[in-house]
Structure 1
Amino acid sequence: MSFKDLNFRLGLVALAGSAFMTFYAIPNWVFSPSNVGNIVLSPTFWPYTLAGFLALTGLGLLLRPAHREAEPDDHDGGAASWLRLAGLAVIMGLTMIALPRLGMVWTSMLAFLVTALMFRTRYPKTALVCAVLIPLVLYAFFAHVAGVAIPQGDFVRLP
Structure 2
Amino acid sequence: MEMHTLTPIKNALEQKVTEYYINNAPAIEQILHTQSVAAYTRLIAYGEGCDQHQTDLIEIAAWLHDIGCPNARKLYGNSLPAHQESEGKKLVEEWLKNETGLTAEEKVWLADVVGTHHQYPSAVKLHFSPLFEADLIVNLVEGYYKMDKAQHLFDTMMITPTGKKLYAALFLTKE
- TM-score higher than 0.5: no
Normalized per residue, the structure richer in helix is: 2
TM-score by length of 1: 0.33
TM-score by length of 2: 0.31
